[in-house]
A and B are shown apart, each in its own frame.
Chain A
Amino acid sequence: MVLARAHAFTIDLLQTRHVGVEVDVRAGLPAFTIVGLADAAVREARERINAAIRNSGFEFPARRITANLAPGGFPKSGPGLDLALACAVLAASGQIPQAALEQCALFGELALDGSVRPSRGTLAVAEATRRAGLPRLLLAGSRAHEAQMIGGLEVAVVERLSSAVRVLSGGAPDPLPRPRVSRGKGSSTPAKTLPAVDLGEVRGQPHAVRALVIAAAGAHSCLLSGPPGVGKTMLAHRLPSILPPLTRSEAIAVAQLHSAAGESIEELCAARPFRAPHHSITAAGLIGGARRGWVGEVALAHNGVLFLDELSEFARPTLEALRQPLEDGRVAIVRGGHSAVHPTRFMLVAATNPCPCGHGGEGERCSCSEAAIARYRRRLSGPLLDRIDLLATLHRGSDGENTPALTSAQARNEVLAARERQRRRLRGEGVAVNAQMDARMLSEHVRLDARGEEMLRRAHEWGLLSARGQARVLRVARTIADLDGSSRVRARDVGAALALRPDVAVAEAPAA
């Protein structure tokens, strides 16, 4: 046998693409060439494969070896092709039966001693293997749990190249490593390490807590505004604890995105992702596509929460880039002739100070000039604020000693009940939460009484609400009614939603 074929996958932006690995071995001066738009990591595979084959006790053919990665039209990246290349070389030199390679996909990076290392994007590769109709996937043990989440696929663990040869020759795979104890909390790196937090730890601020519960119940985007130290960040970090758990299909979507971003996924996690990027993040870091296969924070927050602390410190282009993901629930990235679409249905929570010094609205403590405040507001105003449903203002000295604190469990039950009501009402509409209702659904599901209509009309006339603002108030009012278990939206729901409206962005002085 001088020609061998193997199946492998590479991750191109977020798409996982099949790569046919063809190896040809013939007489000539010893050489190893890889063709087919391989990147640096793949080209370096030559040295790893050579050493790994020799160190595993096999023979590296001292002949002229040509490896082709088909189709040749798109660039292949990453070291995940090592295992497939090595096995194809062994098959071409007659050390493995070629037939065995036809029925399986190989995924993993080789170490010089012949051991197999896990590679980024295991879950996506497993999913692609199943879709390609291949019954078997060989990969490193530490990520095998991830691949096993995709049903209908035989996952064979190979810890070393020699194990792969044994499996392909009809032997048994290596045992599955014991899963580590599940931490079960969040699926973003920071949230995992956070201790379990509870809403009950927040002292006072009943208004903001109520706003957060409303936001969680309807998946509304929410802006927390208040002076430093009143607990904006603390409150936001407790949001995941009152959100409903992920459904299985949501969890798989989340796991795929996180796996593509290089995180190790051991089991499907029920907790919603909570992403809190620092404000120095670039637009590409937030949206994705900073480099090949880079998944942005908006995609990692899919089905979860994207928390932007110190909103006014984010660069303007970064915030502008959020518009499409917020509006469409997906982001299309085009880089170098390739495009990828990532789902981005997240709940936006932002925190900001009311003015540059942070003490705006605290009477005399604010030392900002009118111009400085106007400048600050302009940075926030505009398209992004227009997509925020709820404004919760926090105040100093709102200790609320006499009000009992709401615990996460209580709040979560309220949220779950409200979500269930929304789900039942919106069945067949293709959306599950009030925040996603469009104009048609609003007119169908949100009927106001005369007093509510009158309030909304007046607010619009007085310039307190834009047309889009009216729709936002209706959505929030619907959620408040859902939280109260009311099937109708009453005037008091509209009134409360109005009091939670974000400010209309004012461009210039009055009397324009």
Chain B
Amino acid sequence: MSEQNAPEPDACVECRRRSWLLAALSASLDFSAADRPRLNSLLALDDTALIDALAGRRRAELQAGYEAFEAGEPSGMAGESICRHCTAFPRMLVDDPGLPWLLNISGAEGRERLAAGDPMVAIVGSRRASDYGVEMASSVARGVAASGMGVVSALGAGVAAASLAGTLEVDGGAVAVMSSGLGVSPTTGLRALYRGLLRSGCVVAELPDDCPGRRWGMVASERIVAGLADVVVVVEAEDKPTDLAVALVGQSLGRCVAAMPGRVTSPLSRGTHMLLRDGAQLVRGAEDVLELLYTRGESARSTPRLAAVADASAAALEPRLAAVLERVGAGRDTPDSLTGEGADGDEVLCALSELELLGLLARGEGGRYVPREPWG
């Protein structure tokens, strides 16, 4: 079992041994996947205590394996490992014992970005996001990434995928946290994104490369996302632990938590609105996120340079287009609801197409139009 770890000179043997131990105890840890506080307390234990707590009948075997552990052959994944004892290890992850001790990194520009300590924004939310959530996540990610900051999220569907994809669109620094080892291919829908991340972003995991994903891995990745971020932005979350976990972990780690409002009637806004009521910062777009970062006085190295396209094109809009855009924003999102009041159907259709071509609207599910922030 010991050859599961790549013998990179960067990560020390102790940290790699801990990663091996987590993989070996993966099945036992999975019993605590539903109980987040317990899982987090287990992950904060040191190695011996962890074996005591979870090994049970396998104790002798594990103990033997643990003592005989030595760095083996490199596995197939062309990644590298860093641990808390490396200078390259993100400083953000050092302050809490529950945070991982080792990270396997893969991707074109991974390590430098993490090591440089660029400010990072986590954009998280529901896996079943609406068109609105997807558009918002992607536009905030584009704005943040264009301003030189990194975007971190779990490699999952919905808001997470949209924010990572949005970051890649503007060639920004996207960091995806995987719940399995790096060598395990994600589900079909995420594979294109995964390949894109390997090409121009980076993927990190705390488990050995060929360790398959389990439920607890998903929960454990949430704390890495929160740990790596300076600001956690929640876009569309239902009022349930899976959607809010990153925000709650972020809160406990002392990160700035922000949320984007939605419609009060939508269940997908319940979680975000609850966060807002409980004191989370309200963000309406990438600018608000930047403002949060700077008022916190953290890392004022890069100057914010939000793509000026947005203001320019919105300001120069013809009045008829501006009127349609405003009404779509107000919830009249179908051609039928926009027509009426004497407006000609074809004129409205044409205005919708023009706005879509300006990048200010997107045609979503069921032919409803969603406002979005322009780019490009």
Residues of A at the B interface (CB closer than 8 Å) are 204-207, 210, 225-227, 354-355, 360-364, 366, 369-371, 373-374, 391, 393, 395, 398, 400, 402-403, 455, 458-459, 462, 464, 480, 484, 491-496, 498-500, 503, 508-512
Contact = CB atoms under 8 A, between A and B. Distances in A.
B349 A495 contact: yes
Interface residues of B, number: 46
A400 B346 contact: no
A499 B366 contact: no
A206 B336 contact: yes
Interface stretch (B58-66, B105-113, B350-358): B350-358
Given A361-B364, A395-B334, A510 B352 contact: no
Contact of A370 (B128, B195, B196, B359): B128
A27 B187 CA distance: 84
Contacts of B265: 364
Given A361-B365, A371-B189, A509-B190, 6 more contacts: A207-B345, A362-B366, A393-B368, A403-B339, A484-B346, A499-B350
A422 B193 CA distance: 47
Nearest to B352: A499
B288 interface: no
Given A509-B165, A509-B192, A511-B193, A491 B335 contact: no
B169 interface: yes
Contacts of B336: 204-207, 395, 398, 400
B193 A509 contact: yes
Interface string B164-200: 1100110000000000000000001111110110000
A229 B150 CA distance: 47
Contact of B353 (A374, A395, A499): A499
Given A371-B189, A511-B168, A398 B334 contact: yes
Contacts of B368: 361, 393, 395
A16 to B, nearest CB: 48
Nearest first, the 3 A-B pairs at minimum CB distance are A361-B366, A393-B367, A495-B350
Given A205-B336, A364-B266, A459-B357, A369 B189 contact: no
A496 B337 contact: no
B345 A492 contact: no
Nearest to B267: A364
A207 to B, nearest CB: 4
Nearest to A400: B336
Contacts of B12: none
Contacts of A498: 349-350, 353, 356-357
Interface string B310-342: 000000000000000000000000111101100
B87 to A, nearest CB: 32
A511 B196 contact: yes
A206 B366 contact: no
A495 B266 contact: no
A205 B336 CA distance: 7
Contact of B350 (A204, A492, A509): A492
A412 B212 CA distance: 63
Contacts, number: 135
B196 A512 contact: yes
B268 A364 contact: yes
Given A370-B128, A400-B340, A509-B190, A493 B346 contact: yes
Interface of B: 127-128, 130, 157-158, 161, 164-165, 168-169, 188-193, 195-196, 265-268, 334-337, 339-340, 345-347, 349-354, 356-357, 359, 363-368
A484 B349 CA distance: 15
Contacts of B357: 455, 458-459, 462, 464, 498
B366 A512 contact: no
B346 A480 contact: yes
Contact of B189 (A400, A402, A464, A509): A509
Given A402-B340, A464-B356, A511-B192, A207 B335 contact: yes
B20 to A, nearest CB: 32
Contacts of A499: 335, 349-350, 352-353, 356, 363
Contacts of A354: 365-367
18 contacts: A204-B336, A207-B336, A225-B366, A225-B367, A360-B366, A364-B268, A398-B337, A400-B340, A458-B357, A459-B353, A498-B353, A498-B356, A498-B357, A508-B189, A509-B189, A510-B165, A511-B169, A512-B195
Contacts of B130: 363
A391 B347 CA distance: 17
Contacts of A495: 349-354
B367 A361 contact: yes
B349 A500 contact: yes
A496 B350 contact: yes
Contact of B192 (A361, A362, A508): A508
A403 B341 CA distance: 9
B345 A509 contact: no
A491 B353 CA distance: 11
Nearest to A498: B353
Nearest to A454: B357
Contacts of A204: 336
Contacts of A370: 127-128, 157-158, 189
A77 B96 CA distance: 87
B310 to A, nearest CB: 17
Given A458-B357, A495-B354, A509-B190, A395 B367 contact: yes
A209 to B, nearest CB: 9
A381 B157 CA distance: 21
Contacts of A508: 188-189, 191-192
Nearest to A399: B336
B239 to A, nearest CB: 13
A366 B267 CA distance: 12
A207 B334 contact: yes
Contacts of A511: 164-165, 168-169, 192-193, 196
Contacts of A484: 346
A207 B339 CA distance: 8
Contact of A496 (B188, B190, B349, B359): B349
A182 to B, nearest CB: 38
Which residue of B130, B350, B364 has the most chain A CB atoms within 10 A of its CB atom?
Answer: B350
A402 B341 CA distance: 8
A455 B354 contact: yes
